[in-house]
Amino acid sequence: MRRIAQFLQKAPWIVSSARWVWRLGQAKFTAGVVGVVFNEQGQVLLVEHVFHPYAPWGLPGGWVDRRESPAETVVRELQEELQLVATAGTLLLTEVDFGDHLDFSYICESNGNVGKLSSELLDYGWFDLESLPKLQRFHFRSIRRAQEVRANEQLARII
């Protein structure tokens, strides 16, 4: 083994090449992220998506770019889609969907108001938690998890 290590130290490109070949056979994942934003009245921000025909209303978000963390993505997507300045807080959920897609959701704190919508969106609205429209399952579970996190944070402030 020492001889192999010495050989590889003299020719490190062999390890780089082997890693590249190994990666060709590995699973490729896509990743998406959504943000759960509440207003002062406890309503959740939902957007009407152009490209979601079965459940057009949902949480704002988008695809994670290369070399971008999901937390960075949700902040970027809120800015791009809604011109909403926000910060990503607690990671709420992470799920695998379709076998090769990762979904992430974050509770987000807005630092302003919704501006002009991107061309990917038809509308936005603030919804009471008791009267949500039909949502994708992951979006619904993310909102419920965000409710739990908020309740725990409020309880911690009291104690």
* Backbone phi, psi, residue 96, to 5°: -100, 130
Which of these CATH numbers, 3.90.79.10, 3.40.50.2300, 3.30.70.600, 3.40.50.150, describes 29-158? 3.90.79.10
pLDDT in tens, 94-123: 999 877 889 999 999 998 899 999 998 999
Residue ranges of the domains in the chain? 29-158
pLDDT in tens, 13-72: 886 787 777 667 766 788 999 999 999 999 999 999 888 888 899 999 999 998 899 999
Q: How confident is the model at residue 155 (pLDDT cuts 50, 70, 90)?
A: low
In sequence order, the β-bridge partners of residue 61 are 34
Is pLDDT larger for residue 131 or for residue 8? 131
Pick from 112, 122, 43, 53: which is nearest to 81 by CA?
122
pTM score, two decimals? 0.81
